[in-house]
Chains A and B, each alone.
Chain A
Amino acid sequence: MIESLFPNVDWDKMWEATYETIYMTAMSTLFTFIIGLVLGIILFLTAPKQLWANRIVNWLTGVFVNVFRSIPFIILIILLIPFTSFLIGTIRGPNAALPALIIGAAPFYARLVLIAFQEIDKGVIEAARSMGATTWTIIRKVLLPESKPALISGITVTSIALVGYTAMAGVIGAGGLGTLAFLDGFQRSRPDVVLMATILILIIVFIIQFIGDALTKKADKR
């Protein structure tokens, strides 16, 4: 039945593209999480009256985050072509999409991390200081665990945005369901291919949302 509904779908290609999309999303989510977290911590701790209060570092990080968060993703990919070809050695394929995906998403996640930290009760940080905690201990044992639900729901949102970004990256030949939908589907006028790629992307998004929600709920002991 499925064969008759999707006559033009080459399933081998479809599964390979799905795998590529999942690969790009997973890798970029991982690096976005790490880089975004580091940027978020710097933004939070260098703000006025915080433990590392430093106007210059705070301003520079803020500018970096705001600039890369504001550039439309499709333009960012093009701007980063020289950087990508230097780093990866090619500008085609799933790996070549990663630098743009990470640089586009990490500043966005950094903002969410900052908001998550700002939601933490200041008194808890003060209590940790009053016990003689180092700043490193405060990051590891207060900031991160106390904002865990917000950090998880933040990375869930970011990861879903990244699924969308991978599809856009497909237009310039990153591979994945975006490329397949665009080249095999749109340009060859095969709407069933576009539809199937869309369904698979939706399934990926739903799975990410489901896992994210479950983890957020589990982490929240409030």
Chain B
Amino acid sequence: MIELKQLTKTFDVGKTTLTAVDDVNLTIADGEIFGIIGYSGAGKSTLIRILNGLEKPTSGTVDINGQKITDIKGAELRKARQKVSMIFQHFNLLWSRTVQENIEFPLEIAGVPKAKRVEKVKELVELVGLAGREHAYPSQLSGGQKQRVGIARALANDPEVLLCDEATSALDPETTDAILDLLVDINKRLGLTIVLITHEMHVIRKICHRVAVMEGGKVVELGDVLEIFQTPKQEITKRFVAQVTESEDSSETIKHLRELYPTGELVKLVFVGEQAEQPILTQLIRKHPVEINIVQGKVSHTQRGAYGTLILQLKGTDAEIRQALEFLNQENVQAEVMAND
């Protein structure tokens, strides 16, 4: 378990003081994939660096599996870092070493003898899907392959926690998904706790169990990923959610849909978890005399279940439409008439 208590970090910039991390309190469970999202300058980079002692907090504590990372230093801290490893946006591989030698590096630091190192590397190369590329240099690899080396290197000393510092931000969408799948696989297979920071809601949606939204050094919203997608509270969270639910909420789109479907009511439904798999529409048209027309729909899958939105055109009398909406609300589907402005 990782516990952050009243964590604050300030930097002196000239005469002014910048508060990068402002009184952050978080508890991250073992085996959890925990995401921290924020725009650049939100303090998430500083926060993740405090977790392995690369930065010292101004005040507050970090406790990882019973060890106070913020209190130790020297040899003890170096030893602790072997159990809290990290992968990076720009991979940070040593270009002068082959894939094999890069993965061996943390093992050399830990003082593992050569024969064991070779054995371990073989295992890791299989795990991350790089078998056959052991003797290539980083310059001969693609971005995705480089990050696979980064992941193998981070796993070499059997860490308990893996910190991901914008690990997919330099990759194209397809490679991003492949790397995210690998992280989920590792999380399940090794029971490793993953803490990742990102500015892409896609990453949170795809692999995280819980998410903290950071703004101005503070955690402004925290919760289960599905819950955050369903009912984002803060303005900034809504903006992040809109990154993946895309254009359907913008007034432009609504106006456009209005023009295309001038009659009846446009209703946006949000399904979460099990509901996304229920035949709710069938029930709706069987029980209510309304006509429905599907305008737009989308189901996204998160680690905690599916999440879907559907825009319907409902035709009927006002009373019929009202009853239909009541039915949907009873079924715990969030139904909302799209504003006509």
Contact = CB atoms under 8 A, between A and B. Distances in A.
B86 interface: yes
A123 B93 CA distance: 9
Interface string B94-119: 11110000000110111000000000
A145 B92 CA distance: 14
| Candidate in B95, B96, B97 with the most chain A CB atoms within 10 angstroms | B96
B95 A146 contact: yes
A115 interface: no
B18 interface: no
Given A127-B88, A127-B93, 8 more contacts: A124-B93, A127-B92, A132-B110, A141-B94, A145-B97, A146-B95, A219-B96, A221-B96
B86 A148 contact: no
A55 interface: no
A129 B137 contact: no
Chain B's interface size range is 20 to 34
Given A121-B90, A126-B54, A221-B139, A132 B78 contact: yes
Given A141-B108, A221-B139, A132 B81 contact: yes
25 contacts: A123-B92, A124-B92, A124-B93, A124-B94, A127-B88, A127-B92, A127-B93, A130-B54, A130-B85, A131-B81, A131-B82, A131-B106, A131-B109, A132-B81, A132-B82, A132-B106, A133-B78, A133-B109, A134-B78, A137-B109, A141-B94, A145-B96, A145-B97, A146-B94, A146-B95
B44 to A, nearest CB: 16
A131 B155 CA distance: 10
Contacts, number: 64
Interface of A: 121, 123-124, 126-134, 137, 141-142, 145-146, 148, 219, 221-222
Contacts of A137: 108-109
Interface string B117-156: 0000000000000000000010100000000000001000
Interface of B: 52, 54, 77-82, 85-86, 88, 90, 92-97, 105-106, 108-110, 137, 139, 153, 157
Contacts of B78: 132-134
Contact of A127 (B86, B108, B139): B86
Q: Is the interface of A mostly helix, strand, loop or mixed?
A: helix
Given A131-B109, A141-B108, A222 B85 contact: no
A146 B96 contact: yes
Contacts of A132: 77-82, 106, 109-110
Contacts of A222: 95, 139
A54 to B, nearest CB: 17
A124 B77 CA distance: 19
A145 B94 contact: yes
A131 B85 contact: yes
Given A132-B79, A141-B108, A126 B94 contact: no
A145 B94 CA distance: 9
A67 to B, nearest CB: 32
A124 B137 CA distance: 15
A141 B39 CA distance: 35
Given A121-B90, A221-B137, A221-B139, A148 B109 contact: no
